[in-house]
Amino acid sequence: MTARNAQAWANPPRVPPSHFVSGWVYRDPAIYDAEQAKIFRRVWRFAAHESEMPEAGAYRTFVHACEPMMVVRETGDRFAGFIDRAGPAGARLLPGPAGQCRSTRGLRPCRTAAKWGFVFVTLDPEAPDLDSYLGDALDIFRDVFEGREFSYEVFHFHQAIVEANWKAWQETILDLYHEFMHVVLRRTQMPATAMTARSLRQHRNGHVSIGGLRALYGNYQAYRVRSEGEALPGLTPDDARFTPLFPDTTIIARGTVLRVDTVTPLGPHRTLVESRGLGIKGESPADRRMRIRHHNDYWGPLGRNVPEDAYAAEACERAFGRGAALFQTIARDEDGRGQDDCGLRAFYAEWSRRLGRPACAPTNADAISRGEQEGKP
Amino acid sequence: MSARAAEAWSKPPAVPETHYVSGLVYSDESVFADEKRRIFDRTWHLACHESEVPEPYDFRTVDYVGTPLLVVRGADRRIRTFFNVCPHRGAKIVHELSGNTKRFTCFYHLWSFDAVGACTDIPRQEGYQTVGLKKDDVGLREVRTEIHVGLVFVNLDDQATPLGQYLGKALDAFEGPMTAGKGLEVFHYNRAIIQSNWKAWQETNLDVYHEFMHVLLRRTQMTAAPLEDRKVTVHPNGHTSIAGLRAKYEYYKGMQSRDDRLALPTLRADDFIFGTVFPHVAVLARGTTMRIDVVTPLDAHRTLIEWRGLGVRGDSAEDRQARVRHHNQYWGPFGRNVPEDAYAAEAAEMGFGRGAARFQVIARDEGGSGQDDGMLRAFYGEWSRRTGRPAANPSNAPMA
Amino acid sequence: MTEQNVRELVYRSCLALDREDFDGFLALCDPALHYVVTAYSPEIRKEMTWMEQDLAGMKALLAMVPQHLRRTGSLHRHVSVYQVEAPASDGTIGALSSFLVTHTALDGGSRLFAVGHYHDRIAATGGRHLLKTRRAHLETRDLGIGLHIPI
Ligand code: FES
Ligand SMILES: [Fe+2]
Ligand SMILES: [Fe+2]
């Protein structure tokens, strides 16, 4: 058999239910609302890095679960998050994305906690504390952050609105198989180690960590080989590892530099992506220049990696957004190595658990064919 | 009686139900959702002209009411159409508008597909061994594709009636001009998004009475032949055609009468015939050149219109230049006819889009001649039948 | 001096069209005017001609404009002359310009309408500079409802 007719196309893929996802997860407004209520209002969300709030009273704003939010350094290492809405009209109190705030009186506080300088908030008073939420998901970064005399600092921030569902962005991080799309990864990453050297670990609460990746930077023309002396403590210069935290935050290290990504849904078909680059506070100007360059090579808005991911997310939106694509397959099994889809499966398993709907048939647990779903209210 | 107060304004016109249309057909979101499901997902859609994919492995991509489509001519010269959607993780595969390739490789994970929609390559396929997924399981979604007088039609409904039966005799008048000799080819394509409901555009192709709006038609058409010579034909399935129109081009300053030598096969140079295919295609021939409209809704208030101009395949440079000029005089974006129709469609949207206008009247009856509204009534008759909502009162509960 | 005259001619032709001063525009045209608007369609992979006129044709068309139903509001051409060539053997001078055209609606909102290049040849005879050929090549292919006057 080759091409498929309408009926064959509407049949779910012949793989286990955990190994495919229905297109409805991207476009059903009711699912979007349920995600806000049952996921975003319940999880811990990365708000800002401590270096963005250098002294007492310094704040940083962001959007989370459709709420205008802010986090402020109160004293020393104490941070406090608030819903930045005051007065009867609920207008934002703070004038810009960052600055000094005089008072938080009248703002509704939310639970706030920090780990390794990353400040998180949650809107759920019942949520477990941050440490148990994260569990051992960040273990692969222990060497990078723990027991260091220096601290990290954010040197890069940019944001972009991507015309796609937020999950299509998060998938570009969870999906290892798509390294085929990036010429930089085809050249620098795929030949650097055996596929079996990689390891993908699933953690509690839908987090995933990926280690064992390396890069041969010299294989991409215009990139320089990264030297031993340039590496961050705890890493070799060719190291690459990352942790996508459910649902919306990812911490990524490439030997010499760090990136933190957050994804914020603005609607079923629009997503805000924020990206930070981090280096060592107080390092020499030459080292900083090196780290900025390494960061931008892959991850800057003119870099060779991230813009391609945005292209991919929007290309999926074109097919899923109005219902042409009905399913995606996340069925690769390489025993937790290579280009296994287990990271995507872990994400969707947690998504299904929180929403109480299986991602393979989210609009009606019993009816997975398109025709039947069309009859839904 | 003169002007009307609110209550009188809200009353349906005092004409038969078939002779007026409620403004809700333009503005109600649930009407639009039904149009998509019951009309656009089920009827034949004009994707392109066969001359746009002349050679084996030529392709063309189009977007059809939110469905990205890929039209490809195979090695066997047959034209096929597929969803331009990857069966793997759903990405839109081909992003160019046209080209020639034997192999469509999805940019995301490099799965490849051939011109008959088969998956020909999955990189590192061993990753799918556990679940037993094979290339044979992941072909593209093929869409029914049939060709009539050179026009490539597609249908998302595999159960739809075959194209020939659907069209009936609606395009018979175009058989000669479009297929005799070497056939036609597209020399002009342009598109625009207009701010109006899709039906407001299609109405400009169904409403003969509005020739009063166009100074060009007042001069060249209304004076050229008696109104009684015109003959409107209503075909099954909501298609329409009209014959008996002529043009005296020289009556418009700056235009010349057209030479019979350039007339398309079976036509005279001053002939004007046109027809519509339900729901959203119009085919027009003015003696020496042709125009084809395709109207595709983007949402209830925004519409994509694609215009094509056609000449004879193998025209001499000089003849082609003349046809291009004739086409542009009326129909190009700098022409004297089409921009006024877009103006009219947007003006109708201003009236109906937010509910100020309540009804439109389509009640002219000239026995199928002159400026009869029969074509509009045929369109709305079919529209009502397919949506299950009477156009005069579409918010009525759907009739089964 | 010549270069200055060429620039001035290009700018004046645009100002005249912006003002819809058609007589003013026609007065800047050589009797042998050849005016073409072109665009390339990647959809059909062909160069297209969207308007082609000589002086008489242009005159006739422009004379009819006031009787037409057409886009309301105004167009505004923003032009930069990029290159002015040395005079050719027939005395004409080539000029390449870029244009951005904005549309301002009656309610005062403006938006980008079209972009492209003018490829002009200018005749310099009897001390006067006149527009002899213009190819306005559009990058923009979605012109909304279209328009009744040269771009
Ligand atoms: S989405 Fe097309 S190859 Fe993966
Ligand atoms: Fe990527
Ligand atoms: Fe018209």
Calpha distance B236→C59 (Å, rounded): 47
Residue A145 lies in a domain: no
Give me the number of domains chain B comprises. Answer: 2
Domain count, chain A: 2
Asked whether residue C145 is assigned to any structural domain, the reply reads no
Report pLDDT for A371. Answer: 41
- Which residues of chain A does B110 touch, with a Cβ-Cβ cutoff of 8 Å? 180-181
In a domain, B37, yes or no: no
Query: Is B396 a domain residue?
Result: no
With the CA atoms of A31, A33, A36 and A38 taken in that order, what torsion angle do they form, in degrees rounded to the nearest 10? -60
CATH number for the domain that contains residue A223? 3.90.380.10
Instruction: Report the CATH number that the domain containing residue B57 is assigned in CATH.
Output: 2.102.10.10
Determine contact: B130 vs chain A, CB below 8 A: yes
Tokens, residue B43: 């009827």
Tell me, what's the pLDDT at A375? Answer: 38
The predicted structure's pLDDT at residue C113: 93
| Same-domain check for residues B179 and B302 | yes
- Which segments in chain A show pLDDT lower than 70? 1, 364-377
pLDDT band of C35, cuts 50, 70, 90 = very high
Residue of chain B nearest C68, judged by CA positions = B215
Pick B112 or A99 by higher pLDDT. B112
Same-domain status, B143 and B260: no
B290, part of any domain: yes
**Residue A161 and residue A118 share a domain:** no
Percent of chain B having pLDDT more than 70?
98
- Ion ligand 3 residue ranges (Cβ < 5 Å): B 204, 341
Pairwise CB contact (< 8 Å): A3 & B158: no
Q: Are C54 and C33 in contact (CB under 8 A)?
A: yes
| Strand spans (E) along A149-192 | 152-162
Asked if B279 contacts B293 with a C-beta cutoff of 8 angstroms, the reply is no
Chain B partners (3+ C-beta pairs within 8 A): A, C
Structural domain including A293 reads 152-355
Instruction: Note whether A157 and A124 are same-domain residues.
Output: no
Whole-angstrom CA distances from A231 to A147, A188, A292, A305 are 17, 17, 13, 20
Cβ–ligand 1 distance for B88 under 6 Å, the answer yes
Give me the pLDDT at residue C67, please. Answer: 83
Kindly state whether residues A171 and A296 are assigned to the same domain: yes
A325 CA to centre of ligand 1 in angstroms: 12
**Is A204 part of any domain?**
yes
| Mean pLDDT for the stretch of residues B48-57 | 97
* CA–CA separation, B214 and B387 (whole Å): 33
Does any domain span residue B19? no
- CB within 8 Å: B339 and C70: yes
3-state secondary structure A208-265: EEEEEEECCHHHCCCCCCCCHHHCCCCCCCCEEEEEEECCCEEEEEECCEEEEEEEEE
ipTM of the complex: 0.92
Q: Is residue C151 part of a domain?
A: no
Domain-ending residue, one of B159, B179, B197: B159
Whether B129 and B218 map to the same domain: the answer is: no
Token couple for C148: 């009744």
The strand ranges marked E within chain A are: 20-22, 45-49, 58-64, 67-75, 78-83, 98-100, 108-115, 118-122, 152-162, 199-202, 208-214, 239-245, 249-254, 257-267, 270-280, 327-329
B and C touch per CB criterion (3+ pairs under 8 A): yes
Q: Are residues B123 and B193 in the same domain?
A: no
pLDDT score for A1 = 55
Question: Prior bond to A29 cis, omega within 30?
Answer: no
Same domain, B50 and B194: no
**CA B33 – ligand 1 centroid, Å:** 29
Residue B165 pLDDT exceeds 80: yes
Same domain, B56 and B200: no
Residue of B96, B193, B338 with shortest CB distance to C142:
B193
Would you call B124 and A339 a contact, using CB atoms and an 8 Å cutoff?
yes
Domain check: are B180 and B155 in the same one? no
**∠ CA(B147), CA(B153), CA(B156), 5° rounding?**
130
Amino acid at A110: C
- B215 and B146, same domain (yes or no): no
The range of the structural domain enclosing residue B122 comes to 45-159
Q: What percentage of chain B reaches a pLDDT higher than 90? A: 94
- Residue A179 CA to ligand 2 center (angstroms) comes to 6
Listed residue (A231, A197, A201, A227) closest to A214, CA to CA: A197
Q: Rounded to an integer, what distance in angstroms lies between the CA atom of residue C125 and that of residue C29?
A: 12
How many domains, chain C? 1
Q: What integer pLDDT is reported at residue A92 of this predicted model?
A: 81
Is residue A142 included in any domain, yes or no?
Answer: no
CB of B123 within 8 Å of a chain A CB? The answer is yes
Using CA atoms, how far apart are residues A122 and A64, in angstroms rounded to an integer? 9
Residues B108 and B200 in one domain: no
Indicate whether B137 and B271 sit together in one domain. Answer: no
How many Å apart are CA B149 and CA B177, to the nearest integer? 9
B166: part of which helix (H) or strand (E)?
helix B163-167
pLDDT tens digits for B183-218?
999 999 999 999 999 999 999 999 999 999 999 999
Look at residue A307 in the predicted model and tell me its pLDDT. Answer: 83
Which residues in chain B touch residue C49, judged by CB atoms under 8 angstroms apart? 324, 328
Q: Does residue B393 sit within a domain?
A: no
Q: Is there a domain that residue C51 lies in? A: yes
Give residue B240's pLDDT. Answer: 98
Closest CA to C88 of C126, C130, C124: C124
Q: Is the CB of B110 less than 8 angstroms away from the CB of A180?
A: yes
B295-338 tens-digit pLDDT = 999 999 999 999 999 999 999 999 999 999 999 999 999 999 99
CATH number for the domain that contains residue A122: 2.102.10.10
Length of chain B (residues): 400
Closest CB to B339: pick one of C43, C49, C147: C147
> pLDDT confidence of B398, banded at 50, 70, 90?
very low
B169 lines ligand 1 (CB under 6 A): no
CB atoms B254 and C68 under 8 Å:
no
Q: Could you count the other beta carbons within 10 Å of the beta carbon of residue B102?
A: 11
Which residue range(s) make up the domain with C106? 3-138
Least Cα distance to B279 among B42, B23, B24 occurs for B42
Percent of residues, chain C, with pLDDT higher than 90:
66
Does any ligand 1 atom lie closer than 6 A to the CB of residue B124?
A: no
CATH number, residue C33: 3.10.450.50
Predicted local distance difference test score (pLDDT) of residue B1: 62
Chain B residues contacting C, CB < 8 Å? Answer: 52, 60, 96-98, 186-194, 213-215, 252-254, 321, 324-325, 328, 332-336, 338-340, 342-344, 346
In a domain, C128, yes or no: yes
